[in-house]
Amino acid sequence: MVDLVSGAQIRAARGALKWSIAELERRSGVSSMTLKRMEGVDGVPSARIENIQAVHNAFVTSGKVRFEGEDGLYFLMTTTER
């Protein structure tokens, strides 16, 4: 199963985690140019499925983000991060 994320979800998750584009690039292996293009749309970006999955996995493996559908986004923060 492929886990898709929208550009709006990517922007929100990156902002909440305070990750730069460079940090997301490092964690996902997706180029900064592609990440900027993906963030530039509200819906699911027209990008390679592998890149969308890599971005999804980068956020989920942080242990702080969970995605629900194309619109839902949950942040799982520990008490020390509040």
All structural domains of the chain with their residue ranges = 7-81
CA-CA distance, 4 to 55, in Å (whole number)?
Answer: 9
CB neighbours (10 Å) of residue 8? 16
Output the tens digit of pLDDT for each of the chain's 82 residues: 667 888 988 998 999 899 999 999 999 999 999 999 999 998 888 899 999 999 999 999 998 888 776 555 555 544 344 4
Integer Cα distance of 48 and 56 in angstroms: 13
d(CA 81, CA 68): 22
CATH homologous superfamily of 7-81 equals lambda repressor-like DNA-binding domains (1.10.260.40)
- Find the Cα–Cα–Cα–Cα dihedral 23, 78, 11, 28, rounded to 10°: 40
Query: Would you call 14 helix, strand, or coil by DSSP?
Result: helix
The pTM is what? 0.82
